[in-house]
Structure 1
Amino acid sequence: MLGTLEGRSLLTFLAVLEEGNFSRAAEKLGYVQSTVTSQIQLLEQSCNQKLFHRLPRGVKPTEAGEQFAQYARQFVQLGHSLEEAMENLNYPRGMLRLGSLESFLVTRMPDFMHGFFTEYTEINLLLETGFQADIVEQVQSHALDFGIVPMDPQKEDLIFEPLIEEEMIVVSSQSLAYLIANEGWENTSGIQMVGFGSRCVYHTEGLRLLSEMGIPSDSRSTGFASTELVRQIVTCGLGVALVPKISMAQELTSGLVVSLPLPRQVTFVHGIVRHKKRVLNTPSKVFYQEIIKYFSDRTSLRPIE
């Protein structure tokens, strides 16, 4: 099988996977459609498996195709790394792929990003935001070079390096805090835990806290699509939210929201994850070294050797 594979066919496979259509993949690659079709057929012969379901309006990967995609991405990434190594040696130039929670990017990364990309002007960033599970999956499948997540995913194929311990607080408006203080959590009905929904680790931990504090079973959980929207909903007094303290610093100072007493301290250790077998290109190596140093200089957490 290895003797029949070539990089051009793998690039074609990934283009078809991304476009979901042979003709659009051909247009993207500058081929005629018959070339794309023949290359996919050769790959399927090499694998002795069908890689795509042929549908009336496109294609979708088969189970074999999804498995093949993971290795194709690794193969192509190794090829790019080899090409870059030969052309650039140690010069930091090229693409960097990073995934992170939106709230971490907004509160912790602006200064780092400004300094990093001011110095390394020929490194380009492809940034993905999402939940921890999504980011971990993309790092495992080699779709991302790195992910920044709020807890160690404890996956055998990943390396987790702690960056910073994040203090979490439950915030509410002044009026809702007054009601809770006078009526008690257990007698305050209809309190919403506002967040990103059940797939968000912050939101899940927030609901666990409410349960510990005796919130009635008729309380509601509401998911929203952005950090700013969660902030606005809480400020308007429509619910409480478990958030990084730093994300509400201005609102706490101005009195728009208050931090509510909790039965226990809540923290998350944000860290950077990468695949053990991923060969880091020069931009990735530089980024990795710089982000570890940046947070090491600002926290008591010592990076793992």
Structure 2
Amino acid sequence: MIDALEGRLFLAFIALAEEKSFSRAAERLGYVQSTITTHIQQLEKIVGQKLVHRYPRGMELTEAGKVFAQYAYRYVHLIRSLDEQMHELTEPSGTIRIRAQESFFLTRMLPFIQDYASRMPNVNVRVEHGAYPDILSGVLNHELDFGIVPQNPNRHELLFEPILEETIVFAASEPVTRQVQEAGAQALGDQLFISNGTSCLYHTSAADVLKQAGITVKDALELPSLEMIKQYVSCGKGFALVPEIAIRNEIQTGKLQVLSFAPEMKFTHGLIAHRNREHGPTAQGFRTALMDFYRSPIVSSPD
């Protein structure tokens, strides 16, 4: 099998797996669509397994395709690391893929990315946002170089390096907060609970706290972004669990207030990487720069 496998076949497979479209994969690699089709057919013939299900409006990986994808990513990353080593780059270059929750990127990570990009113009940092399960999956399947998660996943396949501790608070508008102060926390049962959805760790953590407090919420709303959640709650529509740093401006202007019915909550955000991932000099340098950034007094100062 190894004699028949070529790098371009792996690249075509990865492009197809990520784009979920033969035409978009071809456009991404600068091929005609028939070339992608031929490459995938070659791979399927070589490995003796069907790798993709083809549909009129797209495709999805078969179970064999999902297994093959992990090795395809590892192959491509290994070759890129080898290329960096062989050329003994005097300046880092290449692509770093990292995924984090939107709230962490907006409140904690953006300054680092801006600083790093200005110092390392030849490194393409692809920052993606996703829920906690999406981040774990991306690192475990070797799609990503790194992930940032709000708690230690305690998986033997993953390395976890703590970055910073984050205070999490329940937030609501002034009218909703006043209602809770007057009627007690049980008043939240009639309010709309707003979050990024059940796959979000903030949602599950909030649900646990509410359950422990004996509060049964009758209705919930899923919104795709932190900004939408803040705006919706600011209008007096329900309450949400958010990073305290994310609503400091809203607290100062009176748009939002902290609900104090629950004990103080904290998450320990950290960087995760696959234990068996071969990181090249660029990825290793990125990791060092990121960890040094969060160890600085300005960033690591208490909230």
TM, length-normalised to structure 1:
0.89
For the residues of structure 1 that align with 2:72 and 2:96, how far apart are their CA atoms? 18
Change (3 A) 1:281 1:221: same
Output the amino acid matched with 1:47: V
Cα deviation digits, residues 133-191 of structure 1 (max 9, x gap): 00110111111111111011122211111000001111111111111111112255511
For the residues of structure 2 that align with 1:37 and 1:235, how far apart are their CA atoms? 50
Moved more, 272-281 or 98-107: 272-281
For the residues of structure 1 that align with 2:233 and 2:118, how far apart are their CA atoms? 36
For the residues of structure 2 that align with 1:21 and 1:259, how far apart are their CA atoms? 45
% of aligned pairs identical?
38
1:107, CA displacement in angstroms? 0.7
Change (3 A) 1:3 1:220: same
Matches within 5 A, 1:172-211: 172-187=172-187, 189-211=189-211
For the residues of structure 1 that align with 2:94 and 2:129, how far apart are their CA atoms? 21
Query: Is structure 2 residue 256 aligned with structure 1 residue 257?
Result: yes
Provide the residue aligned with 2:231 in structure 1. 232
Cα deviation digits, residues 210-238 of structure 1 (max 9, x gap): 222332x3532221111111111221121
Matches within 5 A, 1:290-301: 290-298=289-297, 299=300
For the residues of structure 2 that align with 1:91 and 1:278, how far apart are their CA atoms? 22
Bigger Rg, structure 1 or 2: 1
For the residues of structure 2 that align with 1:173 and 1:27, how far apart are their CA atoms? 47
Matches within 5 A, 1:75-224: 75-187=75-187, 189-215=189-215, 217=216, 219-224=218-223
1:12, CA displacement in angstroms? 2.8
Change (3 A) 1:187 1:36: closer
Output the amino acid matched with 1:243: V
Change (3 A) 1:38 1:296: same
For the residues of structure 1 that align with 2:183 and 2:58, how far apart are their CA atoms? 59
Runs of 5+ consecutive residues of structure 2 not aligned to the other structure: none
Moved more, 191-200 or 266-275: 191-200
Runs of 5+ consecutive residues of structure 1 not aligned to the other structure: none
Q: State the secondary structure of the residue aligned to 1:193.
A: strand
Q: CA RMSD in A?
A: 2.4
CA contact (8 A) 2:192 2:217 kept: no
For the residues of structure 1 that align with 2:35 and 2:217, how far apart are their CA atoms? 60
Change (3 A) 1:58 1:190: closer
Change (3 A) 1:173 1:31: closer
Provide the residue aligned with 1:48 in structure 2. 48
Instruction: Report the count of equivalent residues.
Output: 300
